[in-house]
Structure 1
């Protein structure tokens, strides 16, 4: 009897842990030539299906994926041959190809047009067409639930590709791929990359369209796709479909819909030569931390924070200064953030952030950001750092903290003209 109980408990746990594979994914090749689909799973349970295969024109391949399939991506490889016993592709390579093996051991190598999925049994599916890794073939995502968005990428970007983005050249010098600006080495700045949205640009506010070279090349021709990492701000990149038990969508990925071509040209495209970033050399944003020691003469519970900043970026320069309390023990009481803009080299004063001071270890972080005037409207680009940032804490009329040091009342007037503390 005890054995049966243990066996039953084990079987119940096993059944509970089993993942349900109920979603059907169909990969259809409508191209005029053979392509080699690749598949990669970033999270959840990987499908019980080969990760790379050959797809002749007109063929379809259907398989099931887990209901929790996460960060799944499917793409087409083109220009593939077996050379010296190894399987190699001009675009979308995803493995060593040793011995002619066409399965994908890794994710794709740019450029690749991606169909991406994160599925759920309750809530919503997330899916998109991504050109963040560049473009190699047109593709559509077709849902079995017709009331959900059906994103398309119908344009052939390869013939339009500017010279510095062309890649995947065949034996005739025809390009089969077009790199994204990030993959082609554009956008490097001192503190990050504005095209790749890395470093200080790894934020949807900091990394905007105006700092991405050739954004319009990809968005004009595939306007329902991701053209760079944070393109969901366009509201035409990331798509959702409600999901619930009994109402789950299946998906079809169609390469070269309606027989569209993906072959490029022997010559570089010229239409988008001037589609470069409109706000380059942005330099950066960053934090400066000020300690707030105890008052030498007054015990305080809270005070009003002020930041004074001077920007030396020329007439079209501007700075946005934000006050942000650091993690505990400092906590914001009423107004955790305050911001103001300053143009040219005139100082800006930001005040009104009320902070509760708990101990001598309290700190306040001043987050500064500079932008060109054209970028303020898009909230996407930065120009250069403020020449100086200064912190003042006014707990009462007699004392203040400047740069982490208290000023005695009689010294405040003398120090007023020397408020700036250099940002390093």
Structure 2
């Protein structure tokens, strides 16, 4: 009888461990832009990197990446990327300075739209947001799937901020195309705009006219450092879809608010650039969504076989 109880205990414990191993959040990246986007990924300090830190995502493609429990970091889209004659990879916006497709611990050069995550934080909640504190280069949508919580909802910035960008904040390509919009902090580096020094507290740092323009266009995104109240979202047990250039019919605010009625697929990184469609990196998807799915299937199969074997030892 003692042996029977031991086997039952071992079975329950091992199954619990298996569940912990596969307790992950799934991030699905979708590109609805009319041009290739190269997502970049940076884990927070002290957090292990994910299976990839940068990849190519052609128009209409999607890719699944799993993140372990308690992962934290940021995602962004790079545009106008190319490889020079020496093999150095670089991008006009969102470049991470690695010289390669993978960012390998490098963060995004501003200006860039950021999706920021802390998984399994306080009270087991995932915390996430879209941030324009470092500027804007692409419209983005973060949509939780299957989670719970009173503030478990979509975070989105679908407006064409490149088209609305003030002249003093604009970033243009050599051909004159608007490819990004800087934040006031990034452009002017003053304490007032960066919420630093004498302005380093919420009561002292108020949104500038530039931040207010960002906020009108993208009410759910961080427009400056202390824009927490309407810009932080939480979920428990969710997976997430991150869409670049979400079309109007995927956005609840696409027909209202400043800039919301514009078609975001026409923004930064336009489809007529010489970089799109000719990159050797576009097909270099070494970890596909199918591979991710197979990993889960194989892992689940191993768990089932192991459980059946342990049960057979009881008889």
Alignment TM-score, normalising by the size of structure 1: 0.52
Structure 1: tracts of 5 or more residues without a match = 1-11, 266-424
Tell me, yes or no, if the aligned pair for 1:143 and 1:250 is still in contact at 8 Å.
Answer: yes
Deviation at 1:120, TM superposition (A): 0.5
SS in 2 for 1:115: strand
**Could you list the runs of 4 or more consecutive aligned residues of structure 1 that deviate by over 3 angstroms after TM superposition?**
18-21
SS in 1 for 2:168: coil
Q: Taking structure 1 as reference, are residues 199 and 165 closer, same or farther at Cα in structure 2, changes over 3 Å only?
A: same
Cα deviation digits, residues 167-195 of structure 1 (max 9, x gap) = 1x223211110000000015x2xxxx011
Aligned equivalent of 2:232: 238
Where in structure 2 are the equivalents of 1:23-422 lying within 5 Å? 23-43=25-45, 45-70=47-72, 72-84=73-85, 85-97=87-99, 101-104=100-103, 105-120=105-120, 122-145=123-146, 148-167=152-171, 169-186=172-189, 188=190, 193-209=191-207, 212-232=208-228, 235-241=229-235, 243=236, 248-258=237-247, 260-263=264-267
Q: Taking structure 1 as reference, are residues 111 and 214 closer, same or farther at Cα in structure 2, changes over 3 Å only?
A: same
Structure 2: tracts of 5 or more residues without a match = 1-13, 248-262, 270-315
Tell me, yes or no, if the aligned pair for 2:79 and 2:268 is still in contact at 8 Å.
Answer: no
Tell me, yes or no, if the aligned pair for 2:32 and 2:265 is still in contact at 8 Å.
Answer: no
Tell me, yes or no, if the aligned pair for 1:47 and 1:65 is still in contact at 8 Å.
Answer: no
SS in 1 for 2:101: coil
In the alignment, the residues of structure 1 paired with residue 30 and residue 268 of structure 2 have an alpha-carbon distance, to the nearest angstrom, of 21
**Higher helix proportion (structure 1 or 2):** 2
In the alignment, the residues of structure 1 paired with residue 202 and residue 63 of structure 2 have an alpha-carbon distance, to the nearest angstrom, of 37
Q: Higher RCO, 1 or 2 (CA under 8 Å, sep at least 6)?
A: 2
Cα deviation digits, residues 342-362 of structure 1 (max 9, x gap) = xxxxxxxxxxxxxxxxxxxxx
Cα deviation digits, residues 309-332 of structure 1 (max 9, x gap) = xxxxxxxxxxxxxxxxxxxxxxxx
In the alignment, the residues of structure 1 paired with residue 47 and residue 132 of structure 2 have an alpha-carbon distance, to the nearest angstrom, of 25
Deviation at 1:87, TM superposition (A): 1.1
Deviation at 1:213, TM superposition (A): 4.2
Tell me, yes or no, if the aligned pair for 2:78 and 2:92 is still in contact at 8 Å.
Answer: yes
Cα deviation digits, residues 338-388 of structure 1 (max 9, x gap) = xxxxxxxxxxxxxxxxxxxxxxxxxxxxxxxxxxxxxxxxxxxxxxxxxxx
Q: Which is higher, the Rg of structure 1 or of structure 2?
A: 1
